[in-house]
Amino acid sequence: MAMVCLTDFEEYAKEHLSKATWDYYAAGADECCTRDDNLLAYKRIRLRPRILRDVSVSDTRTTVQGTEISFPVGIAPTAFHCLAWHEGEVATARATEALNTCYITSTYSTCSVEEIVAAAPNGYRWFQLYVYRDRKLSEQIVHRVEGLGYKALVLTVDVPYTGKRRDDIRNQFKLPPHLKVKNFDGVFQQETAGPEEYGIPANTLDPSISWKDVYWLQSITRLPIIIKGILTKEDAELAVEHGVQGIIVSNHGGRQLDGGPATIDALAEIVDTVQGRLEVYLDGGIRTGSDVLKALALGAKCVFIGRPAVWGLAYKGEEGLREVLQILNDEFRLSMALSGCRNVAEINRNLIQFSKL
């Protein structure tokens, strides 16, 4: 069957992954209202196309943190890629290197950061970081990725505690014995007798994390710091005040607080608040090229995909993820042209209106 759109990959993944793995990737928190609204919110936004604009040549390139990428779609940090494909994050790294875009590697990778860099030495990568009760754990991995040439740290701030994902509880989800959170291989061996949560001992994440930890992070690294998980203008202003270089507007794919806003609905107030003082990105709900166009029109510099990347891996590993990215690139280029935009600089808020339905 020809894979025509991202939904085709979703259907393939649902059919071919085990129930527990599919449920893990698909899970939202509680009643999944926020997860589902991430998708529905795009359907409430309409495009206002301009015509007769000579779109015979189009250019999808943009920059993030000063580095040029081929189009404004990167890979969001998602855990456990080896559940979807045996090569896991190594395949993800090769696909994103081939498409010349940004890959945010998850702390919870089933390949190590060293393996990922070795597989795609010329790839453009950021590293997603959690803050642990044992600060030395966080500090050690920051120094590892900085030494390996990762270009930014993405501090995830919306997980003081893990959201309640009902299917994972019902399935008693655990990593299979042959897989590990490779970046912490050997670190927790003395604690393996205790309860686990997503591959590492429970209660490892630090719920006391606060804005002062941004200053702590700045004191141990020279890498740009991007905060992932901001949904309000108040926190966007605090991010600016604390001197970070970027914000990813994110609700963790609807996996944390259920009842929060769809990310595309939260985007405009954050863009208006920061006034260009830092770059604003978005994840959650991107399924088509026109979704990308809408996010850029509302002020996102780049968007990141999570679940669709995993679907691509489940289909054909590196090749499948390359197909997912290429489809999004082609759809974005077509949506741009049909809206009268020749390059990303021409995309602005005049392009959209909100549906009255």
Instruction: Please tell me whether 284 is known to bind a ligand.
Output: yes
Instruction: Please tell me whether 286 is known to bind a ligand.
Output: yes
User: Among the options 16, 86, 242, 252, which is catalytic?
Assistant: 252
Instruction: Please tell me whether 156 is known to bind a ligand.
Output: yes
CA pair distance 225, 153, nearest whole angstrom = 5
Asked if residues 13 and 314 have their Cβ atoms less than 8 Å apart, the reply is yes
Instruction: Please tell me whether 283 is known to bind a ligand.
Output: yes
Respond yes or no: is residue 252 known to be catalytic: yes
Instruction: Please tell me whether 228 is known to bind a ligand.
Output: yes
Instruction: Please tell me whether 308 is known to bind a ligand.
Output: no
- Nearest Cα to Cα of residue 315 among 67, 38, 10: 10
Instruction: Please tell me whether 256 is known to bind a ligand.
Output: no
CA pair distance 283, 38, nearest whole angstrom = 9
Q: DSSP H helical segments within the chain, as ranges?
A: 6-16, 19-26, 33-43, 89-99, 113-119, 135-148, 166-171, 212-220, 233-241, 263-274, 289-297, 307-338
Instruction: Please tell me whether 121 is known to bind a ligand.
Output: no
Instruction: Please tell me whether 340 is known to bind a ligand.
Output: no
CA pair distance 295, 281, nearest whole angstrom = 9
**Kind of pairing between the strands at 302-305 and 67-69:** unpaired
**Kind of pairing between the strands at 62-64 and 67-69:** antiparallel
Instruction: Please tell me whether 306 is known to bind a ligand.
Output: yes
CA pair distance 194, 141, nearest whole angstrom = 23
What element of type H or E holds 301?
none
- Nearest Cα to Cα of residue 288 among 4, 33, 64, 67: 4
CA pair distance 150, 110, nearest whole angstrom = 18
Instruction: Please tell me whether 307 is known to bind a ligand.
Output: yes
Instruction: Please tell me whether 19 is known to bind a ligand.
Output: no
Instruction: Please tell me whether 107 is known to bind a ligand.
Output: no
Name the percent of the chain in helix, strand, coil, to the closest 5. Answer: 45, 15, 40
Instruction: Please tell me whether 252 is known to bind a ligand.
Output: yes
Task: Point out the annotated binding site for FMN.
Answer: 77-79, 106, 128, 130, 156, 228, 250, 283-287, 306-307
Task: Point out the annotated binding site for glyoxylate.
Answer: 24, 165, 252, 255
Catalytic residues: 252
Task: Point out the annotated binding site.
Answer: 24, 77-79, 106, 128, 130, 156, 165, 228, 250, 252, 255, 283-287, 306-307
